Structure 1
């Protein structure tokens, strides 16, 4: 099953492009001393074309791989709790690019790798509390690009998200394509993703038949979940459901269990990663007394997606397709 999924992901991610992990033509901007100007998190930034990119986390790393940019990478940092990487479409790229750290990215990692560019995000590597920030890297002469899903939106000091999640994915693919001379590949990926998602939407439940869905990441005292600016928002909505936390103007955040009970989801999606397994999370949800009358719990409608399916990544469209199949069945059972 994993091999079939990997093949499908490869096909979707490289439609009309020659093979997973294919290299791209050098950017014409490589020789342009003026650099390439992109808009990142609402700011115009001019970059020299990087040769040694360092990335943080699985979704960000796979954006580079999907664009065929593994030859431009000096390494990546990623905890080893983000799923099995042996059968993913980019296995050869993971084998080729150095795994710098199984913890959060640090300035030392970047300097040791002789990195000349960091691609990370707020809470996807960048954090104020440990001093690993774009401003800190700038002082070292190292430019950075912030994952668009994680852009801070100014409503609070930590809330994130400035556009619909799939728009964030397409924005980053377009920007990276422009920066590295992979514009045609980026456009092909985006077109393939949109086609795949449109096919799921055409079959999706409508109106009152759309199941209400709660995304459960982690937490027992309080659940960690996703609002309207996190990837789960559109993974759920494009698949044919309604995110019960749509009204939260944030990407990932903590809520109270009472809000979950009040919104009575028909389906719960578990984010699979970390020390607590998906099966352990499911067991907790099914046995947690305050949830006993929630529709999803009464009918045991719980679906599992991997972490990388639920953060901005080239795996989002495949996740939409798989969840879409499940939600159609759930809607028929309601």
Structure 2
């Protein structure tokens, strides 16, 4: 069977979702300039973020975001006017073809390297929106506690919440994490109507994809390959790919992995014999190089996905928590249906 690749339906579905809500690249609601001023008596507000209650006396005005999914959550809510800028490597795909092209152009790209305290202090940030292993890292000395010491507030990506077992991450289903962050940020920035419109549209989009997805015994076993040759980095049940695979009609072979992104052994992959492999496309080692490795790696020679050349490619921004997740479900559902024809 020829290789399966992501197709134009993904972009079309995502664009349709944004048009339905009136959010995204060009937010034209009349209260845009006034949102977050506190004039409506909206403040103070309190939200729960990764198990902690956080209060805001007003909407942050100089937010620094880290990475593409986090940045696009802000853009999807039309909050680029509240941003000092974003930090992101330039290996996360084509940003000119996304619905938020205008928001990217209007917002300062602060760095293509690692986010750090000096950078956000220089940007005069009043809030940093990042996550554990999405910028925050004790080894680098960049943590919410360290920023609090210099008077900068933080909001943690819900996908990255630690669950109390060491540094393992994940406290809720991946799509619930996306909806939680949209609603929390809607309250923090006094744009709750926009947040609810996005959540409603995303839920509808996911439901429509699930209605056409493979069911029962037709569901193929699916493995997410992020990177790594000695041992593969993959998705557990709390990272975006779990809900994307499952709701698209696949059986996620690492659904018992109680973490978000984690390393496993190749012997586990061989034992679970995935019928489809989804490649996460990003970084210096692109999808084609990853595909060639998988096809040539001797221990995988008898794995069904390799024998039958059933490999799907999705972009990084579709697989981490982001507004692209629902459209990725629709795209993958179409690919998986194609396997059974």
Per the shorter chain, which TM-score range?
Answer: over 0.9
Give the 4+ runs in structure 1 shifted more than 6 A: 1-4
Change (3 A) 1:21 1:107: farther
Aligned counterpart, 1:296: 305
Aligned counterpart, 1:9: 14
Aligned counterpart, 2:184: 175
Within the candidate set 262, 268, 288, 1:279 is matched to: 288
Within the candidate set 74, 80, 86, 1:70 is matched to: 80
Q: Distance in 1 between matches of 2:87 and 2:14?
A: 23
Q: Distance in 2 between matches of 1:103 and 1:124?
A: 12
Q: Distance in 2 between matches of 1:317 and 1:127?
A: 28
Aligned counterpart, 1:107: 117
**1:13–1:314 Cα contact (<8 Å) kept:** no
Is 1:315 the counterpart of 2:324? The answer is yes
Change (3 A) 1:326 1:216: same
**Alpha-carbon displacement from aligned partner over 1:278-317 (angstroms, at most 9, x marks no partner):** 0000011011110011110010000000000000000001
Aligned counterpart, 2:248: 239
Q: Which moved more, 1:22-31 or 1:184-193?
A: 22-31
Give the TM-score taking structure 1 as reference length.
Answer: 0.95
Q: Which moved more, 1:13-22 or 1:57-66?
A: 13-22
Aligned counterpart, 2:262: 253
- How many residues align? The count is 331
Aligned counterpart, 1:160: 169
Aligned counterpart, 1:150: 160
**2:18–2:24 Cα contact (<8 Å) kept:** no
Within the candidate set 137, 141, 166, 1:131 is matched to: 141
Give the 3-state SS of the residue equivalent to 1:248 in structure 2: coil
Q: Which has the higher contact order (CA 8 A, sep 6+)?
A: 2
Change (3 A) 1:76 1:30: farther
Gaps of 5+ in 1: none
**1:21–1:66 Cα contact (<8 Å) kept:** no
Q: CA deviation at 1:11?
A: 2.4
Change (3 A) 1:5 1:232: closer
Q: CA deviation at 1:137?
A: 0.4
**Aligned-CA RMSD value:** 1.8
Q: Distance in 2 between matches of 1:113 and 1:2?
A: 38
Q: Distance in 2 between matches of 1:313 and 1:90?
A: 12
**1:29–1:36 Cα contact (<8 Å) kept:** no
Is 1:214 the counterpart of 2:223? The answer is yes
**2:67–2:89 Cα contact (<8 Å) kept:** yes
**2:25–2:101 Cα contact (<8 Å) kept:** no
Is 1:21 the counterpart of 2:31? The answer is no
Give the 3-state SS of the residue equivalent to 2:262 in structure 1: strand
